[in-house]
Amino acid sequence: MTNKYVIDSIPGDGIGVDVTDVAMRMVDAVAELHDFSIEWRIRDWNSDLYKKTGRMMPVDGIEQLATGDGIYLGAVGTPDVPDDITLWGLLIPLRRKFDQYINLRPMRLLPGVKGSMPGLESLDVVVVRENVEGEYSTIGGRFGTGTPEEFALQEAVFTRKGITRVAHYAAKIAASRNGKLVSATKSNGIIHSMPFWDEVVAETLAEYPAVEVEKVLIDALAARVVMKPTTLSTIVASNLFGDILSDLVAGVAGSIGIAPSANLNPERRFPSMFEPVHGSAPDIAGKGIANPIGALWAAAMMLEHLGETAGAQSLTKAFESALADGIATPDLGGTATTESFADAVRERLS
């Protein structure tokens, strides 16, 4: 019997639309080759919908998505709508309502890609980002608006449960790689939440004697990503630090256009969500030059999650082989368009 999956696709805004289009076509081609099928439920939940209705998604959007096997997202954001509206109107509520508490962001130096730092020969890093709490919180407020005393308060939320579960997940990833885990912290400057983070990570990691954990202050870690990326393998980080680190790692590996992201509900009680790391890139939207690799790699992670491992590998091998043959979009120094890169991937699917 052929496996069939229902995937909700939210192309979103800007280049999110271009790269999602490529990802869906390539996944369909892979499905045909590997004897499964995807029913895409395409959702026009984006900034245009917001401008028309005042909402980024319908009132029952969450209920609609809950019936599917997964969610595929391009990116949301447009210059004429405030970014907190687009993100808090769609992306962040989905992560939270579906308890996608792990954000898995792998990065490798891909074949034929030079990377941004001279002499970089290898890079293979997985960022495990806490995805539903931490610095991204609605607790706080703006006070004294319009007065000279105006101020803003922004609270971060760190829970024992939240830190413990992301530490467990990261420990298992580290154990499956080289056994080394770096925990990103800032317990010298942030005196309540970050010492708590350190403590709970250390307690959790005590259950994994085979995993060596090193706690590194985020500022020094940022420099290390740039200067000695080969000393890093698995990194566990809070919501904000993980967000920043994953763009940084991708930038060192060549472009943020290649970075994938899986928002996982590991217990599979809810659908997980797959998306490229990058945003809607208004500066290149409509030009047809967006790099679709982040989107394709995210699609491969989705196939892996669905159990279609051979399909996932076939998709990954195809974009790697196109790169190895010197085909690349301008962000990687090439001349390919989004479409011509997609054609090159299609030709290489097996």
- What is the sign, positive or negative, of the torsion defined by CA atoms of 207, 208, 212, 213? negative
What are the b/e assignments for 328-338, b being 16+ CB within 10 Å? bbbbbebebbb
- Which residues between 187 and 226 bind Mg ion (CB under 5 A)? none
Using a 10 angstrom Cβ sphere, with 0-12 exposed, 13-18 middle and 19 or more buried, the burial of residue 153 is: exposed
- Which residues between 231 and 250 bind Mg ion (CB under 5 A)? 243
Q: Is 232 in the site for ligand NAI (CB under 6 A)?
A: no
Residue that has been written with the tokens 């229902």 in this structure: 6
Residue from 7, 75, 225, 301 binding ligand NAI (CB under 6 A):
75
Q: Is 69 in the site for ligand NAI (CB under 6 A)?
A: no
Contact mark string toward ligand NAI, 212..231, x via CB under 6 A = --------------------
Q: Is 21 in the site for Mg ion (CB under 5 A)?
A: no
243 binds, among Mg ion, ligand NAI, none (CB under 5 to 8 A by kind): Mg ion
Q: Is 8 in the site for ligand NAI (CB under 6 A)?
A: no
Q: Is 7 in the site for ligand NAI (CB under 6 A)?
A: no
Number of residues forming the site for ligand NAI (CB under 6 A): 21
- 3-state DSSP percent of the chain in helix, strand and coil, to 5: 45, 20, 35
7 binds, among Mg ion, ligand NAI, none (CB under 5 to 8 A by kind): none
Q: Is 133 in the site for ligand NAI (CB under 6 A)?
A: no
- The DSSP secondary structure of 314-338, one letter per residue, reads HHHHHHHHHHHTT---GGGT----H
In the bound state with ligand NAI, the residue whose beta carbon lies nearer, of 70 and 257, is: 257
Nearest alpha carbon to residue 6 among 274, 306, 269 = 306
Q: Is 334 in the site for ligand NAI (CB under 6 A)?
A: no
Q: Is 275 in the site for Mg ion (CB under 5 A)?
A: no
- Which residues between 303 and 332 bind ligand NAI (CB under 6 A)? 331
Per the structure block, which two tokens stand in for 31? 């499905």
In the bound state with ligand NAI, the residue whose beta carbon lies nearer, of 9 and 280, is: 280
What's the min distance (Å) between Cβ of 247 and Mg ion?
6
- The DSSP secondary structure of 62-123, one letter per residue, reads HHHHHTSSEEEEEE--BTTB-HHHHIIIIIHHHHHHTT--EEEEEEE--TT---SSTT----
The one segment of 25-33, 139-147, 288-296, 319-327 that binds ligand NAI by CB under 6 A: 288-296
In the bound state with ligand NAI, the residue whose beta carbon lies nearer, of 134 and 257, is: 257
Q: d(Cα 7, Cα 189) in Å, to the nearest integer?
A: 43
Q: d(Cα 4, Cα 154) in Å, to the nearest integer?
A: 44
What's the min distance (Å) between Cβ of 348 and Mg ion?
29
In the bound state with ligand NAI, the residue whose beta carbon lies nearer, of 20 and 183, is: 20
Q: Are 68 and 271 in contact, with CB atoms under 8 Å apart?
A: yes
- Which residues between 89 and 118 bind ligand NAI (CB under 6 A)? 91
Q: d(Cα 36, Cα 9) in Å, to the nearest integer?
A: 17
In the bound state with Mg ion, the residue whose beta carbon lies nearer, of 13 and 243, is: 243
Residues found near Mg ion in the complex (CB under 5 A)? 243
Residue numbers of the site for ligand NAI (CB under 6 A)?
15, 75-77, 83, 87, 91, 256-257, 275, 278-284, 290-291, 294, 331
